């Protein structure tokens, strides 16, 4: 199983949905995050004959336009998590913020203090939670910027690398936090906002978009996001538009039944682990 398949606890969520105690190796490459490219990291090497297991038809169309094949649409792990943890309770209070972040190999360049001040100005006198990627959370210089301005600062955990250090409850933590807030904002469109929209939360995109060191030109940067999703780049996004895009991009309407998903992932003969 490719190590990216277990990022954010994705493989474990799919296993839970399929009635398995542990996640066997997945036969294929599982999309681990949202982007406007082909659904995978730039430079991802694929072994011929293995399927690319993606969240939606939208992702498959983008991949096909780039000349890639062997796509299989299964829906996002987030969509399966929602079936495992349904909740009809009303939205909570305040705003949770997901700033554009880098990863272990690329850092973000931007003014966190200016962004924090703008968020406070726009959101007003409400409880504010700042959710940082784990390496930013551990950086006292970054974390203190938000703490000094009255933000509650959290992280959902680590995605891990090469099967080490990943938190399998990452998405469970994110779901709990999104449900406790009324509104979710960011300076870039990303997975977190789509997840929020799938829960009916109000979303917004505004502020300095910041930049990623040595960013890949093929991704198109902020300009591509604005071109593809202009209606999502407002302080307050139309909830009907947000719901439509989240359904299309997360594959909320294409989920497989447990038996079919097990077959697609190569788990048809897996033991459920029950005694």
DSSP one-letter code for 49 = T
Measured between its terminal Cα atoms, the distance across the chain in Å is 26
DSSP 190-259: -HHHHHHHHTT-EEEE-S---EETT--GGG-HHHHHHHH-GGG-SSS--HHHHHHHHHHHHTTT-PPPHH
Cα(208)–Cα(210) distance, rounded to whole angstroms? 5
CA distance linking residue 131 with residue 143, whole number of Å: 10
Q: What is residue 222's predicted lDDT score, i.e. its pLDDT?
A: 78
In DSSP terms, 30 is beta-bridged to: 53
Question: Rounded to whole angstroms, how far apart are CA atoms 80 and 10?
Answer: 10
Question: Mind listing the pLDDT tens digit of every residue in the chain (275 residues)?
Answer: 788 999 999 999 999 999 999 999 999 999 999 999 899 987 788 999 999 999 999 999 999 999 999 999 999 999 999 999 998 777 889 999 999 865 555 566 678 999 999 999 999 999 999 999 988 899 899 999 999 999 999 999 997 766 667 899 999 999 999 999 999 999 999 999 999 999 999 999 999 877 665 555 466 577 889 999 999 999 999 999 999 999 999 999 999 999 999 999 999 988 886 55
The model's pTM is 0.93
Per-residue pLDDT, 203: 98
CATH T-level fold of 95-250: Rossmann fold (3.40.50)
The domain locations on the chain are 3-83+251-265, 95-250
């Amino acid at each position: 199983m490719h190590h990216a398949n277990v990022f954010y606890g994705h493989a474990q969520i799919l296993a839970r949905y399929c009635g398995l105690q542990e996640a066997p190796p997945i036969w294929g490459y599982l999309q681990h995050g949202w982007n406007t490219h082909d659904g995978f990291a730039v430079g991802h090497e694929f072994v011929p004959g293995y399927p690319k297991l993606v969240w939606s038809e939208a992702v498959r169309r983008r991949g096909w336009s780039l000349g890639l094949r062997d796509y299989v649409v299964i829906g996002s792990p987030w969509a399966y998590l929602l079936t495992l943890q349904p909740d009809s309770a009303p939205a909570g209070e305040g705003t949770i913020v997901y700033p554009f972040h880098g990863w272990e190999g690329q850092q973000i360049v931007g003014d966190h203090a200016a962004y924090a001040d703008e968020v406070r100005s726009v959101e007003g006198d409400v409880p504010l939670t700042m959710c940082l990627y784990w390496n930013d959370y551990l950086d006292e210089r970054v974390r203190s910027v938000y703490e000094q301005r009255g933000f509650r600062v959290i992280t959902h955990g680590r995605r891990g690398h090469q099967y080490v250090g990943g938190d399998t409850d990452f998405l469970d933590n994110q779901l709990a936090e999104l449900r406790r807030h009324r509104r979710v904002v960011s300076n870039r469109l990303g997975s977190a906002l789509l997840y929020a929209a799938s829960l009916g939360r109000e979303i917004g995109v505004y502020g300095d978009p910041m930049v990623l060191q040595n960013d890949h030109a093929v991704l198109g940067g902020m300009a591509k996001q604005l071109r593809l999703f202009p209606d999502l780049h407002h302080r307050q996004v139309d909830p009907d538009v947000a719901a439509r895009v989240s359904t299309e991009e997360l594959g909320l309407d294409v989920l497989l039944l447990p038996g079919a998903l097990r077959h697609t992932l190569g788990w048809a003969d897996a033991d459920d682990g029950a005694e």
